[in-house]
Chains A and B, each alone.
Chain A
């Protein structure tokens, strides 16, 4: 295996070992699994009702696009990826990586991969569980999955979840390294992404949310003041999202190249 890939995987394994069961991620687990618990409770209370599948699909689309994408995944990514390097600086442990014979871009890639793998696993399972649970009370829920579009919808939601973790991960890997206080860029990016549908078409295409939205199975109504823009093609959207992440992680590596270990100044 190529040395850079082995090094990136080593960094990823170390990072996963350090953080995945740490207290720092409690907020992430809550954001991901609290909706699962709520929907499980609702499913038990409302079992076997004749609810329309299309109503449930719209309800899930609304829940996924407002809560999951804009709040849970976005802010969890902000929390986790911003800390990839900022956390090292605050804990005074960055020098361990900086003394390794590894290209800085490879360190950035390894750390990003750790965050992306962990976040994708956490939110993909949350997406699968919430999606299954929302259809659980409906008497025709199983038909929707076995004979209808249920599985296709579910796979697209999971795919978008993973891409959201990757793209936002790229953004916050860079801002976490570039800014001493990553909260401010997180708020700015958060507002830009949350209200992207009020932006003119050309600016909407500069948001990650536009491309994520383009891949979702259902579009929700944004109200009378939203600017409706045609969805980008699926392949183009995927390329943009992955490309943005790669570019930002590479930029983070370049920033890391210029980073000095002066903990007292941070």
Chain B
């Protein structure tokens, strides 16, 4: 993929005095939804602030779609950042905030007005548009931040904990929106401590711990590279004991647990491809009715636990 379609970090380090923010980060992020995962202090927000030019790297270079942050006019036309900073300028309404930002993008007042209403409608803020932001609830402020990030139709959307303060219905809508953006070829970078929601929507993941990138790529790929942790596969069927007694003929199967309800089993294997072949044969030979077969730990949460030994909850 060409560099004008990638977000590139080249050996980037950021120190706050003597405190490490992130260290030796080298990444090439392709379009799609990419989630940043890590506990408090892992470096997620630092990475996002570096990516959006709010921080300058102590070492290394960053280019977003081949544009350096030192060229703000081009850079910020392509980036929308929904930060975690919760303060808003005093005395301004949500409408005024978005409208002014669009004027700064060079739109005429009329164009800015049309776009402001469209984006406020998209985030469900038309009714409160003319109220001062100071009187908004946390969720409303979050929606205005989202509106500010989306208003100019950026090619890269960076979202630091974008689901905070949103009710479950709004979360589902926003996640759906992110998916649509990614499907249209945009970069959507999300940091969130709500891992199962990130898991559903992400194409790839960047796992951070203590300022270092500990893993990156598609979540399945990352999981499969972790040879020391056998992959767990959940099989729901009518005769799990038959499968259990047969799978041990394979060296790569290290553990089998039959569910208490007698309708399934959990297999740990170092070679999932061979296991699936064997499972097919066992099922056909023994006429077993299979309800479902699914990986049990190919998700962000499990992978993070294996890699870092932490549950990965919390945010920077």
Contacts and interface: CB of A to CB of B under 8 A. Distances in A.
A190 to B, nearest CB: 28
Given A14-B89, A95-B83, A261-B49, A101 B73 contact: yes
A263 B84 CA distance: 12
A146 interface: no
Interface of A: 3, 6-7, 10-11, 13-14, 17-19, 21-22, 88, 91-93, 95-96, 98-104, 257-258, 260-263, 265
Nearest to A20: B91
Given A3-B106, A6-B103, A6-B106, A99 B91 contact: no
B54 A96 contact: no
B89 A18 contact: yes
B214 interface: no
Given A7-B104, A260-B54, A265-B16, A101 B90 contact: no
A17 B133 CA distance: 14
Given A92-B85, A99-B52, A10 B72 contact: no
B55 A92 contact: no
Contacts of B72: 100-104
Interface stretch (B74-82, B189-197, B300-308): B74-82
Nearest to A97: B104
Contact of B88 (A3, A7, A13, A93): A93
B89 A96 contact: yes
A222 B34 CA distance: 70
Interface string B105-121: 11000000000000000
Contacts of A18: 89-92
A265 B16 CA distance: 9
Contacts of B52: 99
Summarize A's interface: helix, strand, loop or mixed. helix
28 contacts: A3-B106, A6-B103, A7-B103, A7-B106, A10-B103, A11-B104, A13-B100, A14-B89, A14-B100, A18-B92, A22-B90, A88-B89, A93-B87, A93-B88, A96-B101, A98-B53, A98-B54, A99-B52, A99-B53, A101-B75, A101-B104, A101-B105, A102-B76, A257-B70, A260-B54, A260-B55, A260-B56, A265-B16
A80 to B, nearest CB: 15
A100 B105 contact: yes
Contacts of B106: 3, 6-7, 101
Nearest to A14: B100
B179 interface: no
B96 interface: yes
Contacts of A7: 103-104, 106
Contacts of A96: 88-89, 97, 101, 148
A102 B148 CA distance: 15
4 shortest interchain CB distances as A-B pairs: A101-B76, A92-B87, A261-B54, A10-B103
A265 B54 CA distance: 14
B104 A10 contact: yes
Contacts of A93: 85, 87-89
A246 B87 CA distance: 31
Nearest to A8: B104
B104 A91 contact: no
Interface in B16-61: 16, 49, 52-56
Nearest to B75: A101
A3 B108 CA distance: 10
Contact of B85 (A19, A100, A104, A263): A263
A261 B50 CA distance: 10
Contacts of A265: 16
A26 B76 CA distance: 36
A99 B87 contact: no
Contacts of A95: 54, 83, 85
Residue among A6, A10, A93, A263 with the highest chain B CB neighbour number at 10 A:
A10
A213 B97 CA distance: 42
B77 A101 contact: yes
A140 to B, nearest CB: 47
